[in-house]
Chain A
Amino acid sequence: MSDSKSVPCIGFLTVVENAELGLLGGYLLLNATGRPLEFHCTAPVQPSRAQEILYGATLRPYLYGEQIGQTLLARPKLTPLVVCTDHEHVLSARDFSPVPLVLVCQTESARPPAFCLARNQVVAAPHYASDQQAILAAWPIQADHLDLNEPFARIREALEEAQKTARAA
Chain B
Amino acid sequence: MSLAATTFDLAVSVRALASPLSVALRQPDAIEVRSQPLDFSAEPPTTITLKTPRTQPRVFSFTFPEAPHSAAPARPVKKPAPSLGHIVPPSLPPAEPRQSLTRIRPPGDIIRLEDRLYYVLQPPLETLVQSDALHFPFEPFPYQFQGVAFLYPRYSAVLADEMGLGKTMQAITAIRMLLRSGELRSVLLICPKPLVTNWQREFGLWAPEIPLTIIEGDAVKRRWQWTQEAAPVKIANYELLMRDRDVLDESLAFDLVVLDEAQRIKNTASTTSQIARSIRRSRNWALTGTPIENTPDDLVGIFEFLSPGYLRPGTAPRRIAELVREHILRRTKDMVLTDLPPKMFRDAELDLSPEQRATYEMAENEGVMQLNSMGDQITIQHVFELVLRLKQICNFDPSTGTSSKLERLEADLEEVAASGKKAIVFSQWVKCLEILKHQLRRFGPLEYHGQIPSKHRDGVLKQFKEDKSKHVILMSYGAGSVGLNLQFCEYVFLFDRWWNPAVEDQAVNRAHRIGAAGPVTITRMLSLATIEERINQVLEHKRALFDQIIGQNTAPASVGLSQGEIFGLFNLRSPKGVITPAA
| B partners with A | yes
Query: Is B463 interfacial (CB-CB < 8 Å)?
Result: no
Query: In the assembly, what is the distance between CA of A37 and CA of B116, in Å?
Result: 14
Query: Is B314 interfacial (CB-CB < 8 Å)?
Result: no
Query: Is A130 interfacial (CB-CB < 8 Å)?
Result: no
Query: Is B204 interfacial (CB-CB < 8 Å)?
Result: no
A38 in contact with B62 given A147-B127, A150-B124, A161-B120 (CB within 8 Å): yes
Residue interface mask A149-164, B partner, CB < 8 A = 1:
0110011011001100
What's the minimum C-beta distance from B125 to chain A, rounded to whole angstroms?
11
Query: Is A35 interfacial (CB-CB < 8 Å)?
Result: yes
Query: Is A116 interfacial (CB-CB < 8 Å)?
Result: no
Inter-chain contact A38/B61, CB cutoff 8 Å: yes
Query: Is A124 interfacial (CB-CB < 8 Å)?
Result: no
A4 in contact with B128 given A43-B60, A161-B116 (CB within 8 Å): no
Query: Is A39 interfacial (CB-CB < 8 Å)?
Result: yes
Q: Which of A124-155 contact B (CB under 8 A)?
A: 142, 145-147, 150-151, 154-155
**Chain A at the B interface: mostly helix, strand, loop or mixed?**
mixed
A72 in contact with B59 given A77-B69, A157-B120, A161-B120 (CB within 8 Å): yes
A-B contacts, 17 of them at CB < 8 A, read A4-B68, A7-B68, A33-B131, A34-B131, A35-B122, A36-B118, A42-B59, A44-B57, A50-B51, A54-B50, A75-B61, A77-B63, A119-B97, A142-B131, A145-B132, A150-B101, A154-B122
Inter-chain contact A162/B69, CB cutoff 8 Å: no
A150 in contact with B59 given A36-B64, A78-B67, A162-B117 (CB within 8 Å): no
Residues of A within 8 A of B123 (CB): 30, 33-35, 150-151, 154
Inter-chain contact B113/A161, CB cutoff 8 Å: yes
Query: In the assembly, what is the distance between CA of A39 and CA of B122, in Å?
Result: 11
Query: Is B121 interfacial (CB-CB < 8 Å)?
Result: yes
Query: Is A82 interfacial (CB-CB < 8 Å)?
Result: no
Query: Is B538 interfacial (CB-CB < 8 Å)?
Result: no
**Interface core residue of A30, A39, A53, A75 (most chain B CB under 10 Å):** A39
Residue interface mask A1-41, B partner, CB < 8 A = 1:
11110010000000000000000010011111111111111
Residues of B within 8 A of A145 (CB): 94, 127, 130-132
Given contact pairs A33-B131, A34-B127, a sample of 20 additional A-B residue pairs in the complex whose CB atoms are under 8 Å apart: A4-B68, A28-B121, A34-B128, A35-B66, A40-B59, A40-B60, A41-B59, A43-B59, A43-B60, A51-B52, A54-B50, A54-B52, A55-B52, A75-B59, A119-B97, A150-B123, A154-B103, A157-B120, A161-B113, A162-B60
A161 in contact with B128 given A36-B66, A67-B56 (CB within 8 Å): no
What's the minimum C-beta distance from B145 to chain A, rounded to whole angstroms?
15
Query: Is B181 interfacial (CB-CB < 8 Å)?
Result: yes
Residues of A within 8 A of B127 (CB): 34, 145-147, 150
B interface list, Cβ under 8 A from A: 50-52, 54, 56-64, 66-69, 94, 97, 101, 103, 113, 116-118, 120-124, 127-128, 130-133, 181
Residues of A within 8 A of B101 (CB): 150
**Interface core residue of A4, A30, A33, A54 (most chain B CB under 10 Å):** A33
Residues of B within 8 A of A38 (CB): 61-64, 67
- In the complex, residue of chain A having the shortest beta-carbon distance to the beta carbon of B61: A40
What's the minimum C-beta distance from A127 to chain B, rounded to whole angstroms?
22
Inter-chain contact A1/B68, CB cutoff 8 Å: yes
Closest 6 CB pairs of A and B: A34-B123, A36-B121, A37-B67, A43-B58, A42-B57, A145-B130
Residues of B within 8 A of A76 (CB): 61
Residues of A within 8 A of B131 (CB): 32-34, 142, 145-146
- In the complex, residue of chain B having the shortest beta-carbon distance to the beta carbon of A31: B66
A39 in contact with B61 given A71-B56, A150-B127, A161-B120 (CB within 8 Å): yes
Query: Is A107 interfacial (CB-CB < 8 Å)?
Result: no
What's the minimum C-beta distance from B361 to chain A, rounded to whole angstroms?
69
A4 in contact with B69 given A43-B57, A50-B50, A50-B51 (CB within 8 Å): yes
Q: Which of A96-124 contact B (CB under 8 A)?
A: 119
Counted as pairs of residues, one from A and one from B, with CB atoms less than 8 Å apart, the total is 127
Residues of A within 8 A of B117 (CB): 39, 158, 161-162
Residues of A within 8 A of B103 (CB): 154
What's the minimum C-beta distance from B506 to chain A, rounded to whole angstroms?
38
Inter-chain contact B66/A37, CB cutoff 8 Å: yes
Inter-chain contact A68/B68, CB cutoff 8 Å: no
A50 in contact with B52 given A67-B57, A146-B127, A158-B121 (CB within 8 Å): yes
Inter-chain contact A162/B113, CB cutoff 8 Å: yes
What's the minimum C-beta distance from B84 to chain A, rounded to whole angstroms?
15
Inter-chain contact A165/B113, CB cutoff 8 Å: yes
What's the minimum C-beta distance from A42 to chain B, rounded to whole angstroms?
4
Residues of A within 8 A of B97 (CB): 119, 147
What's the minimum C-beta distance from A103 to chain B, rounded to whole angstroms?
21
What's the minimum C-beta distance from B341 to chain A, rounded to whole angstroms?
33
Residues of A within 8 A of B121 (CB): 28, 36, 39, 154-155, 158
Residues of B within 8 A of A42 (CB): 57-60
**Interface core residue of B61, B117, B121 (most chain A CB under 10 Å):** B121
Residue interface mask A67-94, B partner, CB < 8 A = 1:
1101110011110000000000000000
What's the minimum C-beta distance from B67 to chain A, rounded to whole angstroms?
4
Query: In the assembly, what is the distance between CA of A39 and CA of B128, in Å?
Result: 19
- In the complex, residue of chain A having the shortest beta-carbon distance to the beta carbon of B105: A157
Residues of B within 8 A of A165 (CB): 113, 116
- In the complex, residue of chain B having the shortest beta-carbon distance to the beta carbon of A45: B57
Query: In the assembly, what is the distance between CA of A75 and CA of B51, in Å?
Result: 26
Inter-chain contact B64/A71, CB cutoff 8 Å: no
Residues of A within 8 A of B67 (CB): 4, 7, 29, 37-38, 77-78
Residues of A within 8 A of B60 (CB): 40-43, 162
Query: In the assembly, what is the distance between CA of A78 and CA of B62, in Å?
Result: 12
Query: In the assembly, what is the distance between CA of A67 and CA of B59, in Å?
Result: 11
Query: In the assembly, what is the distance between CA of A53 and CA of B130, in Å?
Result: 49
Residues of A within 8 A of B63 (CB): 37-38, 77
